[in-house]
Structure 1
Amino acid sequence: MRLLPSVAFVALLSGCLFDKEPEVVRLSGETMGTTFNVTAIGDDLDENKLAISVEKTLAEVNAKMSNWDPKSEVSEFSASASTDPMSVSDEFALVIAAANDVHEKSGGTFDVTLGPLIELWGFGPRKPEDPVPSDAEIETALSGVGQSRLLTLDTNAGTLAKSDASVGINLSAIAKGYGIDAVAESLRDAGIEDYLVEIGGDLVAQGQNEKGEAWRIGIEKPETGSQTIQLIVSLNDRGMASSGDYKNFFEHDGVRYSHIIDPTTGRPITHRTTSVTVLAENAMMADAWATAMLSLGQEKGLKLAEEHKLAVYFISRDVTGGDEAYITAHSTAFKDALNSN
């Protein structure tokens, strides 16, 4: 559904130090098919205790949200042949409710039932000789896509139902963000007020780094094989996620097909926006909106961002300058967010 976000960490500039050097705990590992990094700052930190807490939190998230685990809550819901309402955990209901919100506000360009189109277009084990899907195949796949039509969430009853037994849910564009927020909550529960949590490039930052400054994060220029920084963002008490189309695509008969599929058309995006970064109140919403905004593209996405006061930064290929020339645009809320830090 989407590329791992292109967010790079930037070296911190020198600044005023705390009166007492804070303790810094850095944890890293693998989760959700990618890597995670946690930096926690405070006094009298217990690294072993924090590591156990983070691992436990991530295990719990995967047990509910992982599409790779056949025993996870989302996998069991997708595999069920029943259309009766099924009881779901509070955490699962929270993520679906957030997905429904972005789905509605984005005009359907964010959709957790996109699986049939992802499989049809072969973003997975695809061979160069595999044919591009026909119009008829796309229409057939589209009949199994559309979460507002196919899924019914009852938050009061704590149930989720699907109108067609074959419907499945793919949380790849929102689960990482939720996992980041869950880890951040576990750090706050431990009394930690200064931290940065990152999974696969998506992240949330709170407080200050070890130099007593705001966390400074780099947005990567959308060039394959490059880690050039396009823009540096100071981040505090916000989630941040980026989505790009420049590392995951295939070419067939000279045509480039992005892995970002528009659920409203059933086809890969064709506009020139190549990277989108979203700042939000948490990583879950930043994660979901980054996918929706890349699907929409700069022209439509910027209008929607202004309507909903979303902090969004777009990088698009310059039509007059070739594939390696870029133009940028940002919403008012994104500019305001930069100025507030």
Structure 2
Amino acid sequence: MMRIQINLPLVVLAMFLLAGCDQGSPSQTLVLEGKTMGTVWRVSMAGVEAGRKIALRQAIQKQLDADDAELSTWKPDSTLSRFNQNQRREPQPVSANMADIVTEALRIGHKTSGAMNITVGPLVNLWGFGPDRQPARTPSEAQIAAAKALTGLQHLRVLQGVDGQWLQKDLPGLYVDLSTLGEGFATDHLARLLEQQGISNYLVSVGGAVLSRGNNASGQPWRVAIQKPTDRENAVQARVELHGHGISTAGSYRNYYELDGKRISHIIDPATGRPIEHRLVSATVIATTALEADGWDTGLMVLGSEKAKALALKEHLAVYLISKQGDQFVSWMSPQFAAFLIKQ
């Protein structure tokens, strides 16, 4: 059966930057944009001279290219790809960046009972959302079981020492996929770069992960908007003021394809080995860092509405969920999220 690829780039589609109300006077805001990790990045800076534009763009792109060369599963020579290709059980040296992102992934993975699982790569590839091509037909139960056998957070460890960091796997075929966290990590990394450049008022995004510091050119907190979860229109569902926090949205409505008459989401449930099919279509999380927000939103999307609500309340997370009931979208927010919400 013919398949239609509707895999739109994960720019700030799950998260619109409100250009008209977050930037103040255009002459006081320097905005830079570019491409990375199969998506786009955007940096808005208040009170930064236009003469710094070229140097800042070069520094930003250089750092993002370095992050991509380290974390990508699409580049066969990346640090992560080399780890995945190596079948040895001995610890493999990695950078502090890699150790940090895996450590956070394992923490959130355990908190979500494995719903956020960076070892789900074999299943991601099986369903056609990794470097491999999309399947011509729905994978068989045997194929799914074989891929699931190569997954499991318990097979991955981060080792820290005074002379470095290492990743270790006790399952030779373990395949780590950091795409669910890469945008959040890169966003935080860009924020550190801007701080080193003496810039303290900015809004940074890589794909759907956003982080703010300070205020916009009007002296107000940076604002962003959560998109209505549909690929048919660009409409705002809710607006928030970040107050120096990170925010990230995971959704099942942008990155998918049609196979055998069914919509196949890019979000895979590690427990079933299959793309999610429940009614939760969007999960937004506000956290101290974009990396943390980027990890939680995926885990909550896998869990579905009721389990996601319970976990958000248990962990005191700032969460905004949107579920589809018939032709209607129904939203729910935790008390912590309500503190950021801009009242309409």
Tell me the residue number matched to 1:36. Answer: 41
Secondary structure at the aligned position of 2:76 is classed as coil
Please say which of residues 257-266 and 301-310 is displaced more in the overlay.
257-266
Secondary structure at the aligned position of 2:180 is classed as coil
Tell me the residue number matched to 2:85. Answer: 79
Give, in angstroms, the shift of residue 42 of structure 1: 2.4
Whether 1:155 and 2:163 are equivalent positions in the alignment is no
Quick one: which of 215, 219, 228 aligns to 2:226?
219
Quick one: which of 103, 110, 127 aligns to 1:104?
110
Instruction: Name the count of aligned residue pairs.
Output: 330
Retained in 1: the 8 A contact 2:34–2:61?
Answer: no
CA distance in 2, matches of 1:254, 1:339: 40
Give, in angstroms, the shift of residue 247 of structure 1: 2.3
Tell me the residue number matched to 1:189. Answer: 196
1:42-63 Cα distance to aligned partner (Å, 9 max, x none):
2556223322221222122122
Tell me the residue number matched to 1:205. Answer: 212
Retained in 2: the 8 A contact 1:2–1:259?
Answer: no
Tell me the residue number matched to 1:275. Answer: 282
Give, in angstroms, the shift of residue 212 of structure 1: 1.5
CA distance in 1, matches of 2:8, 2:313: 23
CA distance in 1, matches of 2:24, 2:36: 35
Gaps of 5+ in 2: 1-6
CA distance in 2, matches of 1:264, 1:23: 49
Tell me the residue number matched to 2:67. Answer: 61
Secondary structure at the aligned position of 1:338 is classed as coil
Secondary structure at the aligned position of 2:250 is classed as strand
Whether 1:298 and 2:305 are equivalent positions in the alignment is yes
Whether 1:165 and 2:165 are equivalent positions in the alignment is no
Cα distance, 1:181–1:30 mapped onto 2, change above 3 Å: same
1:237-266 Cα distance to aligned partner (Å, 9 max, x none):
111111111123344444433221111221
Query: What is the 5 A alignment of 1:233-248?
Result: 233-248=240-255
CA distance in 2, matches of 1:168, 1:235: 35
1:88-135 Cα distance to aligned partner (Å, 9 max, x none):
1111100010001110001001111111111222335326xx222222
Tell me the residue number matched to 1:333. Answer: 336
Gaps of 5+ in 1: none
CA distance in 2, matches of 1:66, 1:43: 32
Cα distance, 1:134–1:210 mapped onto 2, change above 3 Å: same
The amino acid across from 1:110 in the alignment is M
Give, in angstroms, the shift of residue 269 of structure 1: 1.3
Give, in angstroms, the shift of residue 79 of structure 1: 1.1
Secondary structure at the aligned position of 1:214 is classed as coil
Secondary structure at the aligned position of 1:103 is classed as helix
Retained in 2: the 8 A contact 1:311–1:334?
Answer: yes
RMSD (Å), alpha carbons: 2.4
Cα distance, 1:42–1:146 mapped onto 2, change above 3 Å: same
1:207-235 Cα distance to aligned partner (Å, 9 max, x none):
11112211111111111221011111111
Tell me the residue number matched to 1:6. Answer: 14
Give, in angstroms, the shift of residue 197 of structure 1: 0.8
Retained in 1: the 8 A contact 2:238–2:341?
Answer: no
CA distance in 1, matches of 2:95, 2:21: 43
The amino acid across from 1:332 in the alignment is P
CA distance in 2, matches of 1:103, 1:44: 42
Tell me the residue number matched to 1:48. Answer: 54
Whether 1:265 and 2:268 are equivalent positions in the alignment is no
Retained in 2: the 8 A contact 1:194–1:209?
Answer: yes
CA distance in 1, matches of 2:24, 2:264: 48
Quick one: which of 137, 140, 149 aligns to 2:143?
137
CA distance in 2, matches of 1:222, 1:14: 22
Please say which of residues 1-10 and 299-308 is displaced more in the overlay.
1-10
Give, in angstroms, the shift of residue 171 of structure 1: 0.8
